[in-house]
Amino acid sequence: MAPIYNTSRHLKALYISPLFVALVCLAFCSRLSRMKAASICTNSQTGCHFLSLANLFDRVIHHSARMHGISNDLHSEFELYFLPSKNRVSRNCHTSTILTPNGKENAQRIAREELTEVILKLLLAWRDPLWHFHQNMARHHKFNNLSSNKSLEMSEMVHELRKGVQKVAEKMQMLGIISNSLGTLGSREALLASDSPEWRLMNDYNLLYCFRRDSNKIQNYLKILKCRIVPEHGC
Amino acid sequence: MTVSLSSIILLVLLNSALDWLPTPGFAFLMDHDQRSSSATLEPHFTDCISRDQVTFRCWWSPGRLHNLSSPGTLSVFYLKKDSPTSEWKECPEYIHENRECFFDANHTSIWTPYCVQLRGQNITYFNEDDCFTVENIVRPDPPVSLNWTLLNISPSGLSYDVLVNWEPPPSADVSVGWMRIEYEVQYRERNATNWETLEKQPHTQQTIYGLQIGKEYEVHIRSRMQAFVKFGEFSDSIFFEVTEIPSNDSTVPFTLVLTFGIVGVLMVAMLIVISRQQRLMMILLPPVPTPKIKGIDSELLKKGKLEELNFILNGGGGDGLPAYATDFYQEEPWVEFIEVDEEDVEGEDKEDNYNSDTQKLLGLPHRTTEGCSTISYPDDDSGQASSDNTNLPAHDSQMLIASLLPGQPEDNEDTVDTPASETGERPLIQTQIRGPQTWVNTDLYAQVSNVMPSGGVVLSPGQQPKIQDNTSSSESKTQKGEKKNEDKEGIEEQTKNEPRFQMLVVIPEGSEYSAESDAIQTSTPPSSPVPGSGYQTIQPQPMETKPAAMPDTNQSPYILPESPQSQLFAPVADYTVVQELDTHHSLLLNPPPSQSPSLCQPQHPLKAPMPVGYVTPDLLGNLTP
Size of interface A-B (CB pairs under 8 A): 92
The DSSP string of B32-54 is HHHHHHHT--S-EEEEEEBSSSS
Cβ distance of B175 and A234 shorter than 8 Å: yes
Q: Which residue range(s) make up the domain with B213?
A: 144-242
Among B505, B24, B109, B482, smallest CA distance to A105 is for: B109
Do residues B104 and B169 share a domain?
no
Sheet of B181-189, strands arranged across: B196-197, B181-189, B216-225, B238-241
The answer to pTM > 0.80 is no
Contacts of B4 in chain A (CB under 8 A): 136, 140
C-alpha to C-alpha distance for B248 and B276, rounded to whole angstroms: 41
* Ramachandran category for residue B233: left, alpha or beta (phi over 0 → left; psi -120 to 50 → alpha): beta
**Judged by CB atoms within 8 Å, which residues 41-100 of B form the interface with A?**
53-54, 81-82
Residue from the list A81, A86, A234 with its beta carbon closest to the beta carbon of B11:
A81
| Pairing of the two strands B238-241 and B216-225 | antiparallel
- Determine the distance in angstroms separating the CA of B85 from the nearest CA of chain A, rounded to an integer: 13
Which element (helix H / strand E) includes B587? strand B587-588
Q: Is residue B162 part of a domain?
A: yes
Contact B545, B393 (CB under 8 A): no
Give me the half-sphere count of Cα atoms (radius 13 Å) on the Cβ side of residue B328: 17
Interface test with B, best of A82, A86, A89 (most B CBs within 10 A): A89
Among the candidates B137, B152, B183, a domain finishes at B137
**Judged by CB atoms within 8 Å, which residues 208-227 of B form the interface with A?**
226-227
C-alpha to C-alpha distance for B616 and B400, rounded to whole angstroms: 13
Tell me chain A's radius of gyration from C-alpha atoms. 22
Cβ distance of A203 and B7 shorter than 8 Å: yes
pLDDT of residue B157: 85
Do residues B162 and B101 share a domain?
no
Do residues B173 and B91 share a domain?
no
Q: How far is CA A143 from CA A136, B9, B25, B526, in A?
A: 10, 14, 22, 117
pLDDT of residue B619: 62
Interface of A with B (CB under 8 A): 61, 65, 68-69, 72, 79, 81-84, 86-87, 89-90, 100, 102-105, 136, 140, 142, 201, 203-204, 213, 216-217, 219-220, 223-224, 226-227, 232-235
pLDDT of residue A215: 93
Strands (DSSP E) found in B274-427: 366-369
Q: Is residue B237 part of a domain?
A: yes
Q: What is the sign of the dihedral through the CA atoms of B277, B278, B279 and B280?
A: positive
Cβ distance of B176 and A235 shorter than 8 Å: yes
On whether ipTM exceeds 0.90, the answer is no
Q: Please count the structural domains in chain B.
A: 2
Residue B380: phi, psi to the nearest 5?
Answer: -60, -45
pLDDT in tens, A94-134: 888 888 888 888 888 898 888 999 999 899 989 888 888 88
- B525, exposed or middle or buried, with CB in 10 Å at 0-12, 13-18, 19+? middle
pLDDT in tens, B173-194: 888 889 999 999 999 998 889 9
B11 in contact with A, Cβ within 8 Å: yes
Do residues B89 and B123 share a domain?
yes
Instruction: Give the CATH number of the domain where residue B230 resides.
Output: 2.60.40.10
pLDDT of residue B148: 93
Q: Is residue B213 part of a domain?
A: yes
Q: Is residue B76 part of a domain?
A: yes
Q: Is residue B58 part of a domain?
A: yes
Do residues B126 and B148 share a domain?
no
Cβ distance of B82 and A102 shorter than 8 Å: yes
Q: Which residues of chain B have pLDDT under 70?
A: 1-40, 65-69, 245-251, 276-277, 280-281, 284, 292-306, 308-309, 312-313, 315-444, 446, 460-581, 587-625
Contacts of B105 in chain A (CB under 8 A): 103-105
Contact B243, B152 (CB under 8 A): no
Among the candidates B182, B211, B242, a domain finishes at B242
Closest chain A residue to B176, measured at CA: A235
pLDDT of residue A17: 72
Q: Is residue B266 part of a domain?
A: no
Do residues B94 and B126 share a domain?
yes
Strands (DSSP E) found in B64-215: 75-80, 88-90, 94-95, 100-103, 113-119, 124-125, 131-133, 144-153, 159-167, 181-189, 196-197, 205-212
DSSP code for B600: H
pLDDT of residue B68: 65
Contact A59, A187 (CB under 8 A): no
Contacts of A102 in chain B (CB under 8 A): 82, 109-112
C-alpha to C-alpha distance for B410 and B375, rounded to whole angstroms: 9
Contacts of B111 in chain A (CB under 8 A): 100, 102, 213, 216-217
Closest chain A residue to B108, measured at CA: A103
C-alpha to C-alpha distance for B509 and B557, rounded to whole angstroms: 9
Q: ∠ at Cα B427 (B424, B430), nearest 5°?
A: 105
Interface test with A, best of B109, B111, B116 (most A CBs within 10 A): B111
pLDDT of residue B509: 43
Q: Is residue B506 part of a domain?
A: no
Contact A138, A148 (CB under 8 A): yes
Cβ distance of B15 and A81 shorter than 8 Å: yes
Q: ∠ at Cα B48 (B45, B50), nearest 5°?
A: 170
Among the candidates B137, B159, B178, a domain finishes at B137
C-alpha to C-alpha distance for B42 and B61, rounded to whole angstroms: 8
pLDDT in tens, A144-197: 677 788 889 999 999 999 999 998 898 888 888 877 766 555 455 555 555 566
pLDDT of residue B244: 76
| Pairing of the two strands B100-103 and B56-61 | antiparallel
Contact B187, B180 (CB under 8 A): no
Among B507, B578, B580, smallest CA distance to B540 is for: B507
Residue A77: phi, psi to the nearest 5?
Answer: -65, -40
CB atoms inside a 10 Å sphere around CB A106 = 15
The residue among A48 and B419 whose pLDDT is bigger is A48
Residues 6+ apart with CB under 8 A from B62: B43, B68, B69, B73, B74, B99
pLDDT of residue B362: 59
C-alpha to C-alpha distance for A38 and A27, rounded to whole angstroms: 19
Tell me chain B's radius of gyration from C-alpha atoms. 62
Q: Is residue B602 part of a domain?
A: no
Residue from the list B81, B176, B226 with its beta carbon closest to the beta carbon of A224:
B176
Kindly compute the dihedral angle of the four CA atoms of residues B529, B531, B536, B540, in this order, to the nearest 10 degrees.
Answer: -20
C-alpha to C-alpha distance for B397 and B376, rounded to whole angstroms: 17
SS3 B562: coil
Give me the half-sphere count of Cα atoms (radius 13 Å) on the Cβ side of residue B4: 12
Contacts of B108 in chain A (CB under 8 A): 103
Contact B571, B534 (CB under 8 A): yes
CATH class of A53-84+93-233: mainly alpha
SS3 B219: strand
The residue among B97 and A42 whose pLDDT is bigger is B97
Contact B74, B45 (CB under 8 A): no
- B202, exposed or middle or buried, with CB in 10 Å at 0-12, 13-18, 19+? middle
DSSP code for B140: P
Angle between helix A2-35 and A145-175 (nearest 10): 50
Contacts of A154 in chain B (CB under 8 A): none
pLDDT of residue A217: 93
3-state secondary structure chain A: CHHHHHHHHHHHHHHHHHHHHHHHHHHHHHHHHHHHHHCCCCCCCCCCCCCCHHHHHHHHHHHHHHHHHHHHHHHHHHHHHCCCCCCCCCCCCHHHHCCCCCCHHHHHHCCHHHHHHHHHHHHHHCHHHHHHHHHHHHHHCCCCHHHHHHHHHHHHHHHHHHHHHHHHHHHHHHHCCCCHHHCCCCHHHHHHHHHCCHHHHCCHHHHHHHHHHHHHHHHHHHHHHHHHHCCCCCC
The DSSP string of B438-496 is EEE---S---EEEE-TTS-EEE-GGGHHHHHHHHHHHHHHHHH---HHHHHHHHHHHHT
